[in-house]
Chain A
Amino acid sequence: MEPVSRLLRSVGRWFDSHGASFCFSLFIALVCVFLLAPIAVVIIAAFNPARYVTFPPQGFTFGWFVEIAKNSDILDAAWLSLRIAVITAVIATVSGTLASLVLTRSRMPGVDILKLLLLSPLLVPGVVFGIALLIFFNQYGMIGSVSAILTAHICLTLPYVVRTVTAGLESIDRSIEDSARSLGASPATVLLTVTLPSIRSSMFAGAIFAFLVSFDEAIVTLFLAGVQGVTLPVFIFQYVQYNSDPLVAAVACIMVLVTSAAVVTVIRKVRVI
């Protein structure tokens, strides 16, 4: 019995000093797997030659990607998504930055309400905004039009730009602007030569966020898509409900690559935690 109880005691001691952190690390690793699992699965499925999605995959092929190149629906949707995302990013970043400058640098009354207004799209569920715009744009026959979708996306991405750029503006050292003024620069010059260059990385991050949010946007766009306004996420949503072949997985795989590249670019410039 002696050696057994000694063994148990040393196991207990190991747990006290190392075991607890081992279990903790294991748990964290499992959570990481859980977080990445669906994305990983989609990427793997994209290379599976089988007509159905099976696991383990039955081979490796680029066939589905080739199919994409021949599928005009997908290509149209991709082109639409990209155009909308880029234009959204540009317009949202410009107008959002202008608004952020006013939020942080002016002493206007009602700045709090203004900030609330600019961030309010974040508070409204996607379906609610979707139906509101559906009713609204239907009056003008604009369902399925690119402008309607663009407008919706810009509204949705403005909060991200405003949040990122105001954080950047609040973190730069005010005294550099003061010293520029004291050296004789006019307010406009200070803005152009000192302030904007200092928030370059925040603006860039905001633009990337806007691009990503627009590129990924599905819910509101679903309401406005009609027939001609099918973006990539809407395409996947509709396709996936009636088909089970991995063509869509290949599309999703490309989308993931695009977003990952954008995320990695942003991470280097902006501290999240």
Chain B
Amino acid sequence: MNAFVVNRRARWQYLLMLAPSVLLLAAFFLLPLADMFLRSFEHFVPFGNPPPGFTLENYAKFVGDSFYRLTLGRTLLLGATVAIISLIVGFPMAYAIVRVRPGLRAFLTVIILVPLMTSVIIRSYGWMILLGEGGPLASLLAVFGLPRPRLMYTFWGTVIALVQVMMPFMVLTLAAAIQQISPTLEDASRNLGAGRLRMFIDVILPLSLPGVAAGTVLVFALSISAFATPVLIGGASVKVVATVVYEQALTVINWPFASATSFLLMSVTLCLALIQAKLVAWGARWNQ
């Protein structure tokens, strides 16, 4: 039902309303990305002007060099690990948010949202303190006579910090999926003889599967693109693809190569976003 337009004259009114945002995005979002894509086919010369021409050397460099392949592998492993752990930890939280009484639900929602709304820099800094030598974790373990953990600048330290950063995304996606499961189904299975754990396995898990998949894909995509947390927590020993882009862009100033790496990263996340959208649609049909 159309509230404004009744004639063709107003068509340009719509275009006018769209102009600011669309032009802005076209000029400062699409255009630079397209430009970057083109740049990835340029030659690179450390000093002076590069020769003109089209080349695939940047892509070849990324795929060919074992260092970059290793980085890619590490990034993917990091993403998968974070996704799986967030799933395991986040699922009960998502279930709790959907099924508890409204007062408690508001409280839990705030706890989920506050980290989301805090800069990732601050959260990562917090983890630097937590996981560090003087941090509360080390002090707590020292009380029990356990050795200080070496988590800073390690893979697993980065995983722990990233899980906390990504968890709200996982919980919100899962909660949306669980909410579609009618509580009557839970009652029915309990009535027929299933204890709570059994009910969880028989009813909640299968019916929330699309949401589980969507959340996992989302967190995976976000984790492989992560920059601040791996740099601050992982440091030089946990280099990820995003770190490579940053270094190549601002330190080495090899922009063609940085562009190529970026483009590869973006392609992967775009594919994942497509898959995730399909999963969400599947989930809506599944629970009719």
A267 contacts across to B, CB distance below 8 A: 106, 109-110, 113
Closest residue of chain A to B11, judged by CB? A108
One of A63-71, A116-124, A199-207 at the interface: A116-124
From the candidates B5, B31, B179, name the one contacting A273 in the complex (CB within 8 A): B179
Contact B125 A236 (CB under 8 A): yes
Indicate the member of A38, A95, A219 with the most B CB atoms within 10 Å: A38
Q: Is B71 an interface residue (CB 8 A)?
A: no
B25 contacts across to A, CB distance below 8 A: 117-118, 120-121, 155, 158
Indicate the member of A27, A31, A233, A236 with the most B CB atoms within 10 Å: A31
From the candidates A53, A120, A216, name the one contacting B118 in the complex (CB within 8 A): A216
Q: Is A7 an interface residue (CB 8 A)?
A: no
From the candidates A121, A181, A216, A240, name the one contacting B117 in the complex (CB within 8 A): A216
**A125 to B22 Cα, complex, angstroms:** 20
Indicate the member of B4, B21, B172, B176 with the most A CB atoms within 10 Å: B21
**A123 to B25 Cα, complex, angstroms:** 13
Q: Is A89 an interface residue (CB 8 A)?
A: no
Contact A273 B105 (CB under 8 A): yes
Contact B126 A191 (CB under 8 A): no
Q: Is B93 an interface residue (CB 8 A)?
A: yes
- The size of the chain A interface, using a CB distance under 8 A, is 95
* A39-B122, A273-B179 given; A262·B117 CB < 8 A: yes
Q: Is B197 an interface residue (CB 8 A)?
A: yes
Closest residue of chain A to B110, judged by CB? A267
A-contact bits for B157-181, CB 8 A (1 contact / 0 none): 0000100100110001001100100
Contact A218 B121 (CB under 8 A): yes
* A128-B262, A131-B249, A216-B117 given; A273·B125 CB < 8 A: no
Contact B29 A129 (CB under 8 A): yes
From the candidates A117, A237, A259, name the one contacting B22 in the complex (CB within 8 A): A117
Indicate the member of A96, A132, A217 with the most B CB atoms within 10 Å: A132
Contact B24 A24 (CB under 8 A): no
**A262 to B114 Cα, complex, angstroms:** 10
Contact A127 B242 (CB under 8 A): yes
The distance from the CB of A264 to the nearest CB of chain B, in whole angstroms, is 7
Q: Is B53 an interface residue (CB 8 A)?
A: no
* A55-B134, A240-B125 given; A124·B111 CB < 8 A: no
* A94-B20, A132-B35 given; A187·B10 CB < 8 A: yes
The distance from the CB of A18 to the nearest CB of chain B, in whole angstroms, is 11
Contact B135 A37 (CB under 8 A): no
Contact A32 B228 (CB under 8 A): no
- The size of the chain B interface, using a CB distance under 8 A, is 93
The distance from the CB of B112 to the nearest CB of chain A, in whole angstroms, is 7
A125 contacts across to B, CB distance below 8 A: 225, 242, 262, 265-266, 269
Contact A38 B262 (CB under 8 A): no
A-contact bits for B201-217, CB 8 A (1 contact / 0 none): 00000000000000000
From the candidates A28, A249, A273, name the one contacting B109 in the complex (CB within 8 A): A273
* A95-B24, A123-B273 given; A131·B113 CB < 8 A: no
Contact B265 A39 (CB under 8 A): no
A259 contacts across to B, CB distance below 8 A: 114, 117-119
A177 contacts across to B, CB distance below 8 A: 1, 3
The distance from the CB of B260 to the nearest CB of chain A, in whole angstroms, is 11
Contact B31 A136 (CB under 8 A): yes
A-contact bits for B94-118, CB 8 A (1 contact / 0 none): 0011100000011011111111011
The distance from the CB of B262 to the nearest CB of chain A, in whole angstroms, is 4
B14 contacts across to A, CB distance below 8 A: 102, 106, 108
A95 contacts across to B, CB distance below 8 A: 20-21, 24
Q: Is B136 an interface residue (CB 8 A)?
A: yes
Q: Is A168 an interface residue (CB 8 A)?
A: no
**A15 to B105 Cα, complex, angstroms:** 25
B residues near A, CB below 8 A?
Answer: 1-6, 10-11, 14, 17-18, 20-22, 24-25, 28-33, 35-36, 39, 89-90, 92-93, 96-98, 105-106, 108-115, 117-130, 132, 134-136, 138-139, 161, 164, 167-168, 172, 175-176, 179, 195-197, 225, 227-228, 231-232, 242, 245-246, 249-250, 255, 258-259, 262-263, 265-266, 269-270, 273
10 A–B pairs (Cβ distance < 8 Å), ordered by A:
A34-B164, A35-B164, A126-B227, A135-B259, A151-B24, A222-B246, A240-B232, A248-B125, A267-B109, A272-B172
Q: List the 7 closest A-B pairs by CB distance, nearest first.
A: A38-B126, A125-B225, A216-B119, A95-B20, A136-B32, A132-B32, A187-B4
A residues near B, CB below 8 A?
Answer: 16, 20-21, 24, 27-28, 31-32, 34-42, 45, 52-56, 91, 94-96, 98-99, 101-102, 105-108, 114, 117-118, 120-121, 123-136, 151-152, 154-155, 158, 162, 174, 177-178, 181, 187-188, 190-191, 195, 212, 215-219, 222-223, 233, 236-237, 240-241, 248-249, 252, 255-256, 259-260, 262-264, 267, 272-273
